[in-house]
């Protein structure tokens, strides 16, 4: 078997309304890069990544210029070999994002193709543990008023979620505290609450914030400080106030290894689109398992559901605000706090390319 064709297309999808996080600022759209890998039997795997607006074309050009010449005519079943060759070819300008995003799009397509050829869903192909996966709703943003915040949480509960995440990082901590208190009072005791500071604080600010927020019994506090301040994570975790989640802004295995090594995290949150695809995500998940840590996910929930469904140490699947639900044939549903990985071959996601084509940018 060999790869006979690779196609890469980029789309810019507007968000229904602007959302805000401390690190990224206000986001009005996201970019979607889709990579199709076809074999000489005309079977096709589809991979994709989502990224902040106006960054998709740069990622697509890495695939077109650097990766297509490497993988064309090669055996698509040898995913580890192709992954290694893409990583090696771009090591000088790479070893992380945006190269990791570019490798991820190809890697997902290769796994999808393998699943389709073997007629197995990814969640079983990757190990097979439990197709039922615990889910939580994000999308409770920093720029939303308190009323909108509560309304968003209510809508998520109506959709079947039993866990909600809200963003922190207002200019004054007192405003964050008021928002958490209002949200906690709005939710029944059996509804779980997480918070995400999106790198808002210096370490001294984070120490104060952890002390003040402890009483709200959060499941976790996510990215309180910059993602690569591993010593800072280690110190905050040693305080023992609130479990810490992190991982969406780590771009290679070595970074995950360092964060775990310094005891800096309670909930690992790799994102296959930011760390180089399914292949390294599964290694992070195993690393977490070896260290008795749960693995969660960030972004692209319709892909990550397979990965978490394959892991014995799976915890929460994030339902992300950058949704492609309206462009695919079978968006995930949530019931009593859980969603399910599909049993279709590969990832089982079919894009409506007619519908998405009006957002084509290159």
Question: Smallest Cα–Cα separation from 35: which of 60, 62, 69?
Answer: 60
Comparison of 9 and 196: residue with beta carbon closer to Mg ion = 196
How far is the CA of 357 from the CAs of 10, 13, 14, 108, 362, in angstroms? 10, 10, 13, 21, 10
Q: What is the pattern of x (binds Mg ion, CB under 5 A) and - over residues 183-222?
A: -------------x-------------------------x
How far is the CA of 42 from the CAs of 3, 37, 107, 116, 303, in angstroms? 9, 10, 18, 11, 23
Of the CA atoms within 13 Å of residue 230, those in its CB half-sphere come to 11
Q: Is 271 in the site for Mg ion (CB under 5 A)?
A: no
State the minimum distance, in angstroms, from the CB of residue 308 to Mg ion: 16
Tokens representing 12? 């810019």
How far is the CA of 99 from the CAs of 198, 246, 261, 343, in angstroms? 22, 20, 25, 31
Comparison of 94 and 224: residue with beta carbon closer to Mg ion = 224
State the minimum distance, in angstroms, from the CB of residue 288 to Mg ion: 17
Comparison of 9 and 222: residue with beta carbon closer to Mg ion = 222
Question: How far is residue 205's CA from residue 72's CA, in Å, rounded to a whole number?
Answer: 50
**Cβ–Cβ under 8 Å, residues 210 and 222:** no
Closest residue to Mg ion: CB criterion: 196
Comparison of 222 and 229: residue with beta carbon closer to Mg ion = 222
For Mg ion, the binding residues in 215-254 under the rule CB under 5 A are 222
Comparison of 198 and 313: residue with beta carbon closer to Mg ion = 198
State the minimum distance, in angstroms, from the CB of residue 168 to Mg ion: 11
Tokens representing 192? 């779980």
State the minimum distance, in angstroms, from the CB of residue 249 to Mg ion: 8
State the minimum distance, in angstroms, from the CB of residue 124 to Mg ion: 29
Site for Mg ion, rule CB under 5 A? 196, 222
């Amino acid at each position: 078997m060999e790869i006979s064709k690779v196609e890469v297309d980029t789309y810019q999808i507007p968000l229904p309304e602007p959302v805000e996080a401390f690190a990224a600022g206000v986001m009005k759209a996201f970019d979607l890069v889709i990579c199709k890998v076809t074999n000489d039997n005309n079977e096709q795997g589809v991979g994709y990544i989502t990224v902040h607006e106006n960054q998709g074309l740069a990622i697509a050009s890495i695939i077109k210029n650097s990766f297509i010449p490497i993988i064309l005519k090669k055996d698509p079943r040898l995913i580890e070999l192709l992954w290694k060759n893409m990583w090696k070819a771009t090591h000088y300008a790479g070893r992380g994002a945006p190269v990791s995003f570019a490798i991820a799009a190809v890697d997902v397509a290769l796994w999808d193709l393998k699943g389709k050829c073997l007629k197995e869903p990814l969640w079983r192909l990757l190990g097979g543990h439990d197709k039922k996966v615990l889910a939580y709703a994000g999308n409770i943003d920093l720029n939303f008023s308190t009323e909108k915040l509560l309304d968003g949480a209510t809508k998520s509960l109506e959709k079947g979620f039993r866990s909600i995440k809200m963003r922190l990082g207002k200019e004054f901590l007192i405003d964050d505290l008021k928002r958490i208190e209002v949200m906690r009072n709005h939710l029944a005791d059996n509804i779980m609450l997480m918070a995400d500071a999106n790198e808002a604080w210096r370490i001294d600010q984070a120490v104060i914030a952890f002390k003040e927020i402890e009483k709200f019994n959060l499941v976790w506090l996510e990215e309180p400080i910059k993602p690569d301040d591993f010593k800072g994570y280690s110190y905050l975790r040693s305080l023992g106030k609130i479990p810490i989640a992190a991982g969406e802004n780590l771009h290679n295995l070595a970074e995950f290894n360092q964060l775990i090594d310094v005891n800096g995290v309670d909930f690992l949150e790799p994102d296959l689109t930011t760390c180089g695809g399914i292949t390294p995500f599964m290694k992070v998940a195993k690393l977490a398992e070896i260290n008795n840590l749960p693995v969660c996910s960030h972004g692209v929930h319709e892909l990550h559901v397979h990965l978490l469904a394959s892991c014995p140490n799976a915890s929460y699947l994030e339902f992300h605000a950058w949704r492609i639900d309206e462009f695919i044939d079978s968006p995930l549903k949530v019931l009593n706090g859980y969603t399910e990985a599909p049993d279709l071959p590969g990832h089982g996601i079919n894009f409506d390319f007619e519908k998405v084509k009006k957002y084509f940018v290159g």
